[in-house]
């Protein structure tokens, strides 16, 4: 199994960037949850909401293509950008990636 590097940056000023291993076939959401990083996921990580929204800042070619369903949910995300993806759908296929997690403090509950 191939292991790559996932760099996570945070919009929240009091959060330091972190680098974690990510295996081919693993999602950004999975790695966040396995490492105690609080990335919202109201639908349980099944591409049914937009709360695990992230910005891919490097390595867009190293993750699975975006689906029509995912694009529909990104349109509902807070402050979507051209580099927006859902963490649950951000599955690494080959290579390192870097993402920025938007400010999560506006979400109430889990």
Q: Is residue 110 over pLDDT 70? A: no
* CATH annotation of 3-93: 3.10.20.30
Whether the pLDDT of residue 106 is over 80: the answer is: no
The answer to whether residues 10 and 102 touch, using CB atoms and an 8 Å cutoff, is no
Flag whether pLDDT at 105 surpasses 90.
no
In angstroms, the Cα distances linking 93 to 15, 72, 75 are: 27, 22, 24
Please state the domain extents for the chain: 3-93
pTM of the model: 0.92
What is residue 69's predicted lDDT score, i.e. its pLDDT?
97
Average pLDDT across the chain, whole number? 93
Mean pLDDT of 34-44: 94
**If pLDDT is split at 50, 70 and 90, which confidence band does 107 have?**
low
Q: What number of other Cβ atoms are within 10 A of residue 4's Cβ?
A: 18
Proportion of the chain above pLDDT 90, given as a percent:
86
User: Is pLDDT above 90 for 58?
Assistant: yes
């Amino acid at each position: 199994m191939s292991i790559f590097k996932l760099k996570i940056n945070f919009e929240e000023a009091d959060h330091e960037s972190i680098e974690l291993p990510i295996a081919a076939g693993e999602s950004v959401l999975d790695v966040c949850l396995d490492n105690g990083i609080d990335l919202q996921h109201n639908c349980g990580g099944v591409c049914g909401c937009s709360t695990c929204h992230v910005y891919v800042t490097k390595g867009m070619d190293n993750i699975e293509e975006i689906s029509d369903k995912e694009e529909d949910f990104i349109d509902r995300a807070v402050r979507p950008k051209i580099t927006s993806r859902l963490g649950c759908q951000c599955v690494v296929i080959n290579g390192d990636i870097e993402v920025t997690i938007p400010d999560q403090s506006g979400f109430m509950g889990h």
